């Protein structure tokens, strides 16, 4: 989620995220194993959940067509509906009545350790100071973030 300044009026309420307790726009991004950003989704209001945004962008179908896979956090549990050939691999969630076994905890730790270097790609994108002053609609924000993606990749490869 990219935090934004609150616009005046009732129109900005859709950009309020109860989870993060702030106004913003939600983007999904794909990176390679080294943490280099490859793709950014279209902007969605901050109140959208990550899994809904992934479904809106047909992320699973696009990954399947490209022959790629993805490691995701627990916010994407249930996204991939094909258990025999998953494209999006997530950890397991514990419930009050069904705690995690030792093996499931180790799998969650392994997925988290593989995802850790990837988070640097998101940090590189969020370092652009212009994003702290963002006060625009999602379509314009999408164009801005995709331009910043190109600039970030060119800056890193220098």
Residue whose C-alpha is closest to residue 63's, from 47, 76, 48? 76
103/98 Cα distance (integer angstroms): 14
Retrieve residue 89's tokens: 């691999």
What is the pLDDT at residue 17?
Answer: 58
Tell me the pTM.
0.69
78/7 Cα distance (integer angstroms): 34
What is the pLDDT at residue 21?
Answer: 57
What is the pLDDT at residue 101?
Answer: 94
What is the pLDDT at residue 42?
Answer: 84
Q: Are strands 44-45 and 22-26 parallel, antiparallel or unpaired?
A: antiparallel
- Show me where the domains of the chain are located: 2-157
What are the residue ranges in the chain where pLDDT is below 50?
none
156/124 Cα distance (integer angstroms): 9
pLDDT in tens, 106-147: 999 999 888 888 888 777 777 776 776 666 667 777 888 888
């Amino acid at each position: 989620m990219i935090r934004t300044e609150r616009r005046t009026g009732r129109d900005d309420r859709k950009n309020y995220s109860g989870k993060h307790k702030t106004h913003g726009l939600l983007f999904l991004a794909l990176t390679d194993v080294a943490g280099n950003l490859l793709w950014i989704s279209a902007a969605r209001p901050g109140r959208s959940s990550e899994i809904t945004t992934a479904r809106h962008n047909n992320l699973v179908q696009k990954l399947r067509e490209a022959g790629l896979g993805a490691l995701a956090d627990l916010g994407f549990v249930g996204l991939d509906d094909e258990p025999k050939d998953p494209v999006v691999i997530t950890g397991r969630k514990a419930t009050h009545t069904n705690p995690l076994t030792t093996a499931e905890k180790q799998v969650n730790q392994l997925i988290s350790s593989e995802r850790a270097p990837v988070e640097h790609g998101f940090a590189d994108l969020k370092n652009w100071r212009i994003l702290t002053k963002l006060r625009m609609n999602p379509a314009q924000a999408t164009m801005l973030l995709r331009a910043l993606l190109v600039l970030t990749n060119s800056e890193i490869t220098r």
